[in-house]
Structure 1
Amino acid sequence: MTENNTFHQTIKEIETNSRVYLMHNYIQHGSITTYDHCLSVASMSYWLNRKFHLHSDEKQLIRGAFLHDYFLYDWHHYEGNLHGFSHPHTALINAREDFMLTRKEENIIRSHMWPLTFWHYPQSREAVIVCLADKIVSTKETLFKRKKIA
């Protein structure tokens, strides 16, 4: 597969799942949906891997990155435990229900909030890349993609 095909084909495979479309219904940061956020994190992870020649497993990297926030609820109205601490576990449960995951993909999802969730730390190159990409994308979305007030 060519480099562009790898990314797009992997995302297309994930999108065939019937619950992925639900991510379009929830706002993640500013005015960005959870779907768009996850797509941006997957894209940033892929770019970091290519740009810095990190030689990660691209398919697992993309899958873990895209599913890292597969929690499927509006976190702005979440009444359970603190969302930042608990959503990686919820995302992992949902991803396990809908996809066959590798251990590496599970660790990517579970550890993407490290160091906030210090007991679940990145255990692979791919998990470190996604953790970093999520911080970069989240910061950009939070600071620069706010809804405009009419």
Structure 2
Amino acid sequence: MMKKILLCGVILVLLIQLIQINKENPPVNKEMDYNNVTQATPEIKKILKKSCYDCHSNEVKYPWYSNIAPISWFIKEHVNQGKEYLNFSEYGKYNTYQKEHINSALYRVIENKYMPLKSYLWIHKEAVLSEKENKILIHWFESNLSKKN
């Protein structure tokens, strides 16, 4: 009986591998990208690319473990939610009110160290923000609060 349950479990795990997520990124229009719209410095661009763009842009780089169901499903849902809150690749499409709200939210989440998410940083050590990078981003987002970009 136990062998049958184990066999069924193994078969189920193998079968769910057939349900793959769509990892295709939509095309990126660089003119709409946050870094270009806000005229971000090269330093800001580099920090945002390494720590934010994997969940908040159309330039997602899916890791190897995104090929394993059901982990892949959670990753895809997390990325979809991240892009729903903010998609850096489509920043130019937001209206002035949305941009002001986004910059305010970015300021708060970076200042309070809510982002990048701790769960993301467990595996993606390269995305950890140093204290210097954290301060640079806080200053950048604060300076953008009064701009109408």
Shorter-normalised TM-score: what interval? 0.3 to 0.5
Task: Please say which structure displays the higher CA radius of gyration.
Answer: 2
Per the normalisation by structure 2, the TM-score is 0.32
Per the normalisation by structure 1, the TM-score is 0.32
